[in-house]
Structure 1
């Protein structure tokens, strides 16, 4: 596969995987900057005893993984079925930016109710659209 033929959807999936692989960093920074004494080998620590942003960083990482896995499987299925089109192109780009906004908003605390669930739900809709693309490519 030449760089010119590398589908954008797979590039976005790569960026999402790198985001998921790196999103543990804010949580670890927060945990290690806590002044509360305790068992340093307890993982995860008692989140209720940590600053709110540390707890939100942990949840942001879990939320990304919850949506990344199904989305990744669907993108790989569409790739396998040679079904990439304008819909999958824009869906993958929108999904990526939704996930970035969700993580940044959750960790910072700016994405409060109802914004954060709306972003998560929009990501779910992107998964549904990519699922549709699998069936559209298959039949």
Structure 2
């Protein structure tokens, strides 16, 4: 397995776990049974948990383009220092994005989002320059 595919697996694993903190906050806020019966759907989450939920939604939205880029690069047999570094950076930046967004760190979510976007652009650039005519 290439580093890029391994990082795609780790990014996917991270994304499928990001719901846990805000659901636990909801359970702590209203109790387990109301959470399971949907009677508490109108109860607002604590501010940090609402931010965690938004960060999770953002992670889901960005997983698709990252996955497509990694899979296209893999199909074209493009794997180099740029793509591997970008894939590793993407994982850590997405983790940092969730943490900084949830913790409401000033400029944290913007910087980490932009960095992860830059990692995607790096892989895209490799595909467009090395994959042309393949």
- Structure 2 length as normaliser, TM-score? 0.86
User: What residue in structure 2 maps to residue 16 of structure 1?
Assistant: 11
Alignment-derived partner of residue 60 in structure 1: 55
- Any gaps of 5 or more consecutive residues in structure 1? 1-5
RMSD, aligned α-carbons: 2.0
Correspondence for 1:3: none
TM-score (ref. length: structure 1): 0.83
Runs of 4+ that moved beyond 6 A: none
Q: Does 1:107 align with 2:102?
A: yes
> How far apart, CA to CA, are the structure 2 residues paired with 1:121 and 1:42?
38
Question: Is the Cα–Cα contact under 8 Å of residues 82 and 137 in structure 1 kept in the other structure?
Answer: no
2:117: which partner in 1?
124
Residue 92 of structure 1: aligned partner: 87
Q: How many residues align?
A: 129
Counterparts of 2:91 and 2:77 in 1: how far apart (Å)?
Answer: 21
Structure 2 residue runs of 5 or longer lacking an equivalent are: none
More helix by share: 2
Aligned equivalent of 1:41: 38
C-alpha contact (below 8 Å) 1:12/1:92 kept by paired residues: yes
CA contact (8 A) 1:71 1:127 kept: yes
Q: Evaluate the alpha carbon distance shift between residue 100 and residue 41 of structure 1 in structure 2; reply closer, same or farther with a 3 A threshold.
A: same
What whole-Å deviation, never above 9, does each CA across 1:48-93 have from its counterpart, x for those lacking one? x321111011011011112111011000000000011110010011
The structural deviation recorded for 1:42 is 6.2
